[in-house]
Amino acid sequence: SRRQRQMCIRDSSVNVSVYGGATYIEKLNDLRPVGGLHLRKKAWTAMFMYSGQDEHVTLSRELGNHTISVLLFNLELPGIAYGFHF
């Protein structure tokens, strides 16, 4: 039906958002730009961030009110994060 097709189209969409700003990095004695790109599809989230000095990437999966993330700091140092929201 038409309603089912609309729901499928809506469910398959990717939400995209960007952010930008500035931060002062004391060790560099400099005001630097920051920014990123956030992509979300259902329970999956991917984010690219520029912290003013380094790039970082995260891939996250929500499981109810829990979130598990795999991170790549400076595009080379791996990490894992767990979040819980209520």
Global pTM reads: 0.73
Mean pLDDT across the chain: 89
Provide Rg for the chain, Cα atoms: 17
Confidence at 27, pLDDT banded by 50, 70, 90? confident
More confident site: 12 or 40? 40
Asked if residue 6 has pLDDT above 90, the reply is: no
pLDDT in tens, 56-73: 999 999 999 999 999 999
Asked if residue 7 has pLDDT above 90, the reply is: no
- Measured at the CA of 46, the angle between CA 40 and CA 48, to 5 degrees, comes to 125
The pLDDT value recorded for residue 5 is 53
The pLDDT value recorded for residue 22 is 93
